[in-house]
A and B are shown apart, each in its own frame.
Chain A
């Protein structure tokens, strides 16, 4: 049986693995889409409001939050899909701002203090671990699939890919919707785990964590977040409390050093191929 502290830590790591994957997915198609952050907030607030204020059953609030975030992301994707990488990045950061301001100003969502006393969901840890496992399998398959290669082509050259018959806008819409729903999942897990949510929870700090996890872990394979999320969340646990306030400086410095020395991150495609070859060799030797 895990202690409450260990369970919380595992859930937080799970939330950030899912959030990082939600950021990683659109990056495959060359889009710096920061939507998972505001989608997490939207889903968290939706789940909190429906279960606490409206009295919905907790599982309904859980899935409703994910669906709501996915729907909002789908709706916005119609406008965001044609944007370039820079435009997408700026507009989605602006949306983080807009949603934060909206939450701060809506009294029925608790205003600046947010909502607390959100009912808890049973078996949250197994659900989170299962979600991480399912996403790992799906993203690993996508990484090696025809779709994955099409995404890579769009990332390299959007115009050429469109000329070769890839429906770039539709692809972008699908990526944003799935990414938004994944962000939503992270948001509801967060809300049901801590029992509280406030406007500043999903902001630029969280964006920095996600960037650190994705870019330091390696943005070209899905395995980076699986390594970096636990590492980045566990390292500060060993910090003396006096230097805990330097956490963001530490994360920022890690990004800078990593981009300067390993721009493609720790787990690159070459590393994955090498590990796969070694595993195949081991399997062959056993056979």
Chain B
């Protein structure tokens, strides 16, 4: 039972991060109809930016800021690449474009950054500095920071979407783009705002990965992207509450599989679970009938 609780705790922590990834990717999907396959690569590149900034300055706060700025800028830079294709409704091409961007970023990291070797963050940063152990259950400060940051960011996003003028504009674009256009909502600005928000979320995600994992490799980006995809598909494409549910479900499945299965079956079983959900309910747990693509 103790082991089960320990796995649950780990699942909630990783689920919080997956939920954030899913929310960021879903935000881009509902507002700009883009499935951002380079999302994970941007998260990992921001981890590299943080690592280099810390190495150069020795300051954690400057390094964290660098990661968030790097993620926001990179996400914003992808937007103009997709604009023409989106306007011509070439959805397959937008997907392929983001896959190409992701693969370029992965290879740039593999070739140019730290000679392609994994990066490791200082030990006093990973884990958050202190921990409390109850038998098999170990709760670190990083676990608490991660859950608090995720929940805080989610609540902040909900407040932004429900209470602010720009947030309401984003919701209008997501709900009915034609009506939003007729009402005079600037679609271009809305799309850029969605990319900026997704960029900020990917920046924060990179910090949470630093706190919990403490290492990064160029190939990590692919995995992060597919966790995000799995979360989107499980929860329902375009559904923010679905992303939260999907994120926690994926986190729990992964930690339970890691705990109870021998061998490296985590990815296969997590992806298999996603496939079962899609087969049983093609629109995901909270998906709407709105078909993307």
| Chain A residue contacts of B96, Cβ below 8 A | 32, 211, 215, 255, 259
Interface residue total, chain A, C-beta cutoff 8 A = 41
Q: How distant is the Cα of A91 from the Cα of B234 in the complex, in angstroms?
A: 11
Shortest A168–chain B CB gap in Å is 13
Q: Are A246 and B293 in contact (CB under 8 A)?
A: no
Given contacts A83-B282, A97-B268, contact A255 B97 (CB under 8 A): yes
Q: How distant is the Cα of A276 from the Cα of B92 in the complex, in angstroms?
A: 28
The residue from A89, A207, A215, A252 contacting B107, defined by CB atoms under 8 A apart:
A252
A 81-97 to B, binary, CB cutoff 8 A, 1 in contact else 0: 01111110111011101
What residue in chain B is nearest A89 (Cβ atoms)? B95
Q: Are B229 and A94 in contact (CB under 8 A)?
A: yes
Q: Are A101 and B278 in contact (CB under 8 A)?
A: no
Q: Are A263 and B93 in contact (CB under 8 A)?
A: yes
Given contacts A255-B96, A259-B97, contact A208 B282 (CB under 8 A): no
| Chain A residue contacts of B151, Cβ below 8 A | none
Q: Decide if A245 is an interface residue (CB 8 Å cutoff).
A: yes
Q: Are B104 and A252 in contact (CB under 8 A)?
A: yes
| Chain A residue contacts of B230, Cβ below 8 A | 90, 94
Q: How distant is the Cα of A30 from the Cα of B237 in the complex, in angstroms?
A: 19
Given contacts A83-B282, A105-B263, contact A27 B271 (CB under 8 A): no
Q: How distant is the Cα of A233 from the Cα of B274 in the complex, in angstroms?
A: 36
Q: Are B271 and A97 in contact (CB under 8 A)?
A: yes
Q: Decide if A260 is an interface residue (CB 8 Å cutoff).
A: yes
Q: Decide if B103 is an interface residue (CB 8 Å cutoff).
A: yes
Q: Are A85 and B91 in contact (CB under 8 A)?
A: yes
Q: How distant is the Cα of A82 from the Cα of B283 in the complex, in angstroms?
A: 11
Q: Are B229 and A249 in contact (CB under 8 A)?
A: no
Given contacts A84-B292, A208-B103, A249-B107, contact A98 B95 (CB under 8 A): no
Q: Decide if B85 is an interface residue (CB 8 Å cutoff).
A: yes
Q: Are A84 and B100 in contact (CB under 8 A)?
A: no
The residue from B101, B265, B278 contacting A91, defined by CB atoms under 8 A apart:
B278
Q: Decide if A137 is an interface residue (CB 8 Å cutoff).
A: no
Give residues of chain B (251-272) contacting chain A, Cβ–Cβ below 8 Å. 263-265, 267-268, 271-272
Give residues of chain A (174-196) contacting chain B, Cβ–Cβ below 8 Å. none
Give residues of chain A (88-141) contacting chain B, Cβ–Cβ below 8 Å. 89-91, 93-95, 97-98, 101-102, 104-105
| Chain B residue contacts of A256, Cβ below 8 A | 81, 97, 100-101, 104
Q: Decide if B31 is an interface residue (CB 8 Å cutoff).
A: no
Give residues of chain B (75-94) contacting chain A, Cβ–Cβ below 8 Å. 81, 84-85, 88, 90-93
B 208-234 to A, binary, CB cutoff 8 A, 1 in contact else 0: 000000000000001000100110110
Q: Decide if B111 is an interface residue (CB 8 Å cutoff).
A: yes
Q: Which of B97, B265, B267, B272 has the most CB of A within 10 A?
A: B97
Q: Decide if A79 is an interface residue (CB 8 Å cutoff).
A: yes
Q: How distant is the Cα of A245 from the Cα of B115 in the complex, in angstroms?
A: 12
A 247-267 to B, binary, CB cutoff 8 A, 1 in contact else 0: 011011101100110010000
Q: Are A94 and B274 in contact (CB under 8 A)?
A: yes
Q: Are B92 and A27 in contact (CB under 8 A)?
A: yes
Q: How distant is the Cα of A124 from the Cα of B267 in the complex, in angstroms?
A: 36
What residue in chain A is nearest B80 (Cβ atoms)? A260
Shortest A173–chain B CB gap in Å is 15
Q: Decide if A204 is an interface residue (CB 8 Å cutoff).
A: yes
Q: Are A249 and B90 in contact (CB under 8 A)?
A: no
Q: How distant is the Cα of A83 from the Cα of B280 in the complex, in angstroms?
A: 12
B 125-140 to A, binary, CB cutoff 8 A, 1 in contact else 0: 0000000000000000
Q: Are A102 and B104 in contact (CB under 8 A)?
A: no
Q: Are B90 and A263 in contact (CB under 8 A)?
A: yes
Q: How distant is the Cα of A215 from the Cα of B96 in the complex, in angstroms?
A: 8
Given contacts A91-B275, A101-B268, A263-B88, contact A208 B111 (CB under 8 A): no
| Chain A residue contacts of B90, Cβ below 8 A | 263
Q: How distant is the Cα of A11 from the Cα of B87 in the complex, in angstroms?
A: 40
The residue from A82, A86, A97, A215 contacting B93, defined by CB atoms under 8 A apart:
A215
| Chain B residue contacts of A98, Cβ below 8 A | 267-268, 271-272, 275
Shortest B39–chain A CB gap in Å is 13
What residue in chain B is nearest A207 (Cβ atoms)? B99
Q: Decide if B291 is an interface residue (CB 8 Å cutoff).
A: yes
Give residues of chain A (210-264) contacting chain B, Cβ–Cβ below 8 Å. 211, 215, 219, 245-246, 248-249, 251-253, 255-256, 259-260, 263
With A86-B91, A208-B103, A245-B111 already in contact, 15 other A-B pairs whose C-beta atoms are closer than 8 Å:
A32-B92, A84-B291, A86-B237, A86-B293, A87-B278, A90-B233, A97-B267, A98-B268, A105-B268, A205-B103, A207-B99, A246-B111, A249-B111, A253-B100, A259-B100
Chain B: residues with CB nearer than 8 A to chain A? Answer: 35, 81, 84-85, 88, 90-93, 95-97, 99-101, 103-104, 106-108, 111, 222, 226, 229-230, 232-233, 237, 263-265, 267-268, 271-272, 274-275, 278-279, 282, 291-293
Q: Considering the complex of A and B, which 9 residue pairs feature the smallest CB-CB distances, nearest first?
A: A85-B293, A101-B268, A252-B104, A86-B293, A255-B100, A94-B271, A252-B100, A248-B107, A90-B229
21 chain-A/chain-B pairs, Cβ below 8 angstroms: A85-B293, A86-B91, A86-B293, A87-B282, A87-B293, A89-B95, A90-B35, A91-B278, A93-B229, A97-B267, A101-B267, A105-B265, A204-B103, A207-B99, A215-B93, A215-B96, A248-B107, A249-B107, A255-B96, A256-B101, A263-B88
